[in-house]
Structure 1
C-alpha cells in the first residue's frame, strides 16, 4: 500500500497516529510544500526508528510504526530538519537479513529519497550512510529522476540486496 501526502498541514503527533492505522503501508511519500506545520520532526523520526528493544523480541503490534515500510520519500521545503534522527531512523530500518525481518515482523527499508529545497546537505552528518554503502546500501547526492536506475556511486557487490538512498540539497536541479 502506498500513501502520498503533499501540501497537507498535519502535526507530527497526528501524522504518527494516522500511520499507526496503516501497518500494511509499504511506500510513504511526503512533501511539505506550502505547509505551515512540518510533521517530519524529531518526534516523527524517533517514532520511525527501530530501537534495540523493538528488535530484541517480537514487538507488540502497535509498537512499530509502519512495520512494512520499504520505501520512504521526503521533500522538505523548510530549513529545520533533524539530520541525526533521520540517519538513525534509516540505519535502524536497514535490515538485510530476510530471516531476521521475518522473525521481528518488520520489513527492511530499501529506498530512501530525501530532498531539501531550502538548505544544503551536511555531508558529515550523512557519512554513516556512506558506510552502509559498503555493505549494500546505495547512496547518492544527485539523481536526475527518482525512478532512474542510474548508478550514483560505484556499485558494491551486495547492492542487489541493498538500499537506495538519495539525498539532495537546495542546489539540486532535478525533479
Structure 2
C-alpha cells in the first residue's frame, strides 16, 4: 500500500487481510490525518510492515499504531528509510501500546533505522517473551546536529545474555528466551565491546535440548552483526568461529567489506549501504 491515507478503508473492506504493508516516502503536512477513537481490530492480520520517514511522518505513524489492534499478529517490521541525517528521538510508547492492546504472540520483530535508546529497546523486548527472530539496525546516516539515539550498544548486547542479568535487564529471567535468529547493525562500531558480544552469543548456544530446557532458553541458531565506523580489526570476534564450526550461522563484518557483505545487503537490509 502506497501512502498512509487510506489504511483504515482498505483494511475494513478486506476482512480476510493477513499481510499489511504500508510504504510512504513523504508527508503533506497540510493534509489532516484521521485518528480513530476506538482502535480498529483485525483478527486476520498476521504480518504488518511500515516503511516511512519516522521524523517527517512520526505523528502519522504513531496514529496508525494507536488506531489498530492485531490479536493474531506474529510479524512486525518498522523501517525508517529516509535519508535525512537530522533525526530525533522516536518514542516507543505507541508501539508498546499496540502490542499490549493486541495481546499477540509476536515471533518476529524488525526495527531498522529508528532513533531508539538501548534502554527503550530492552523495555520493549521485555514485553515480547515469545520472540524468535529479532533484527535491530542502528541509524547509519546522521549528521553532526542529529539528536538520534542508537539502540545497539554494549549494554544492550549484555542484556541479551542467556544467564546473567545486566544493567538494562536486572531480571533473573532471560530476555527473549525463545530467540533463535538475531541480526544487528551497529553505528558506533568502535564503542562496541567485542568480548561482551562473544560472551553473550556463546551463552545462547545450547544445541543440547536438555541443557537448553534446564537454562530456560532456546538455542540461538543464527547471528548477524554488521559494524559501521570501526577502526579496529575484527580479531576480537574470532572466538565465535568455534560456534560456526559447531553449527551456528555466524556473520560478522564491517560494512565496507562490500564483497563479503553483498549477500547480506541483498537479503533486504535497507540501512547498511556503502558509505
Which TM class, normalised by the smaller chain length? 0.7 to 0.9
Partner residue of 2:248 out of 140, 163, 169: 163
Of 98-107 and 125-134, more deviation after overlay is shown by 125-134
Bigger Rg, structure 1 or 2: 2
Picking from 207, 216, 224, the partner of 1:113 is: 224
- 1:83-102 to structure 2, matched below 5 A, reads 83-102=194-213
Per the TM alignment, residue 121 of structure 1 is displaced from its structure 2 partner at its CA by 6.3
Gap runs ≥5 in structure 1: 54-60, 137-161
2:164 aligned with 1:77: no
Q: Encode CA deviations 1:82-135: one digit per residue, 9 max, x unaligned.
A: 22111111011111101111233210100001111332563321121123344x
Q: What is the CA–CA distance in structure 1 between the aligned matches of 2:233 and 2:207, rounded to whole Å?
A: 26
2:128 paired with 1:22: yes
For structure 2, list consecutive stretches of 5 or more residues without a partner in the other structure: 1-106, 143-147, 166-170, 266-275
Query: Structure 1's 130 and 8: CA in aligned 2 closer, same or farther, altered over 3 A?
Result: same
Trace 1:31-70 onto structure 2 (pairs within 5 A): 31-33=137-139, 34=141, 36-51=148-163, 63-70=173-180
Find the aligned partners of 2:194 and 2:234 in 1 and give their Cα distance. 10
Give per-residue Cα distances to partners, 1:58-81, cap 9 Å, x unaligned.
xxx862100000000011233332
Partner of 1:13: 119
CA distance in 2, matches of 1:163, 1:25: 19
Tell me the equivalent position of 2:39.
none
**CA RMSD in angstroms, aligned pairs only:** 2.1
Asked whether the equivalents of residues 2 and 26 of structure 1 are also in contact (C-alpha less than 8 Å), the reply is yes
Worse-superposed segment, 39-48 or 29-38: 29-38
- 2:35 match: none
Equivalent residue for 1:140?
none
Q: Which residue of 1 aligns with 2:49?
A: none
